[in-house]
Amino acid sequence: MAAAEELEEHLQELRSKATELFLREEWNASIEAYSLIITLCTQTLSHNSHPTQNLRRSLCIALCNRAEAKSKLKNFHCALQDCDHALELDATHSKTLLCKGKILLCLNRYSSALECFRSAAIDGNAENASGYLERCKSLELLSKTGCLDLSDWVSNGFKGKVPELAEHIGAVEIRKSEISGRGLFATKNIDAGALILVTKAIAMERSIIMGGVQDLCEDAQLAMWKNFIDKVFEVVGKCYKTKGLITRLSCGENEDELEVLDVGLFRPESVEKDDGDAVVGVDMVKLVGILDVNSLTEDAVSANVLTRGNDCYGVGLWLLPSFVNHSCVPNARRLHVGDYLVVHASKDLKAGEEVTFAYFDPLCGLSKRKEMSVNWGIHCKCKRCRFEGEVFSKQEIREIEIGLERGMDVGGVVFKLEEQMKRMKVRGKEKGYLRASFWEAYSEAYRSERAMKRWGRRIPTMEAVVDSISDVVGGDHRLLKMMVEELKKNGGGVVEREKVFKMARDVFGKVVKKQAMKTLLELCIGD
């Protein structure tokens, strides 16, 4: 009896210390303190053929509290193990059920989290569980349907917290790509603006800048990159599933030999078997190579960042978007909302068509794109590059290009190009390719009163050129801005406004209602 009292007194001292550390948010120290309690309780239970209910309860609570402390450090895998151990002792322990539900919610495993919150509500924690239940139901619905609506946040000028999004994988699969290695392919027809996927960054690093990434000195960029690598390394070391998925990404070598993965592996609810080597089995050299090939920046030409001001530059790793290859005639764009990446179609996709981004500016000439291709370590073989490879070798087109470089009147450049396309019988999409390559001249001409006074009646209308270019490169914010400027300058009827809204959906995706889209255009385009 004295020994039992002495044990209970010792446990009480340990509990008080662990609780104090937890309340002070000293997570590592509190984990050590709870581990002492767990060890003591486990050893006592193993030597006691008639364990008391209090001892089992003490072990259950210690496991639950240690799980919560581990979750604060984002060590979710180990935290779940503690929760499962605690629930083996008491399957109806409401605090543990609530803790496990919150951890599963952080992992975007909505269905499993929902079961925990429902059980917690039944087993006496209804007040605390109710809020999580509603939140989880909403996220599960978004995850299943992809019905994302940011209208309220956008209409409010991006004020307040960034909306909580849910992981969503649309009608896509991973297949071998003719472009390079593996790619992401549509499994059904996808309309322009429709969501393709929503996914949260494995890790992100951001830096405050005043102008653009060019304002970041080399040392600052290197420091930012190092911090980013360290964050990914930490996440990989804590989760065997994340480690397994990241190590299957391309590192830029032997692309044709890479395994074609089931897209289901990337769904949050999928659970891979622990290989027992999550922490020590990370090859840093390989990891850096993978990040060099697959990390994405927020300032990419095919991206929009929804935020107040543009004073942040971020780099992150998102798993499924890593499979999206480059094309000079892209069909998808991405929207950055906090740490989430929203990928949507920027023009209509057909079933079986590969989803592509523009890694570099599609509104520039072939020579500039080739230069950028070298920097990216890729060799673009898209229809546009093949066509322009032939056309730009012709003396007439080369002379127009040289004239633009030497400061020739932009209206004259546009006129000569249009006349040359007529002589060469360039039609349809091929006409859009060349207009996209000479977009700089077109945009300057349409914005110049002098050029339009001289050449306006001899060159195509701005609307015709924008339609032609967007048909081949998809929605682009510069094309949209030109349309918005024209609408403000000359007004327009229902048809013109609908045209602008359609292009806005191609650029930003179908994430806001029409009224909020007006606000979005003012915030991101119309200034």
The token duo for 42 is 């486990």
The helix, strand and coil proportions of the chain, stated in percent and rounded to the nearest 5, come to 60, 10, 30
The three-class DSSP label of residue 4 is: helix
In the predicted structure, residue 280 carries a pLDDT above the cut 50: no
Yes or no: say if 89 and 56 are a contact pair by the CB < 8 Å rule: yes
Supply the pLDDT for residue 239.
Answer: 87
In the predicted structure, residue 206 carries a pLDDT above the cut 90: no
Distance separating alpha carbons of residues 316 and 308, to the nearest angstrom: 20
The token duo for 508 is 């930003």
Supply the pLDDT for residue 240.
Answer: 86
Q: In CATH, what is the architecture of 3-145?
A: Alpha Horseshoe (1.25)
In the predicted structure, residue 278 carries a pLDDT above the cut 50: no
Query: 299 pLDDT band (50/70/90 cuts)?
Result: confident
Q: For 127-159, how does the pLDDT look when each residue is reduced to its tens digit (9 = 90+)?
A: 778 889 999 999 999 999 999 999 999 999 888
In the predicted structure, residue 7 carries a pLDDT above the cut 70: yes
Domain ranges for the chain, please list them: 3-145, 165-357, 376-524
Of 41-50, 59-68, 232-241, the least confident: 41-50
Yes or no: say if 439 and 480 are a contact pair by the CB < 8 Å rule: no
Fold agreement between 3-145 and 165-357: no
Of residues 398, 406, 409, 464, the one with CA closest to residue 437: 398
Domain 165-357 class?
mainly beta
In the predicted structure, residue 303 carries a pLDDT above the cut 50: yes
Of 37-51, 134-148, 246-260, 419-433, the least confident: 37-51
Yes or no: say if 417 and 469 are a contact pair by the CB < 8 Å rule: no
Q: For 162-182, how does the pLDDT look when each residue is reduced to its tens digit (9 = 90+)?
A: 889 999 999 999 999 999 999
Yes or no: say if 210 and 242 are a contact pair by the CB < 8 Å rule: no
**Mean pLDDT (whole number) for 379-391:** 92
Question: Residues of 78-111 as b/e, b for ≥16 C-beta within 10 angstroms?
Answer: bbbebbebbbebbeebbbbbbbbbbbbbebbbbe
Yes or no: say if 517 and 504 are a contact pair by the CB < 8 Å rule: yes
Distance separating alpha carbons of residues 197 and 217, to the nearest angstrom: 34
Yes or no: say if 66 and 31 are a contact pair by the CB < 8 Å rule: yes
Name the region of 340 (left: φ>0; alpha: ψ -120 to 50; beta: rest): beta
Distance separating alpha carbons of residues 99 and 67, to the nearest angstrom: 8
Of 42-51, 104-113, 468-477, the least confident: 42-51
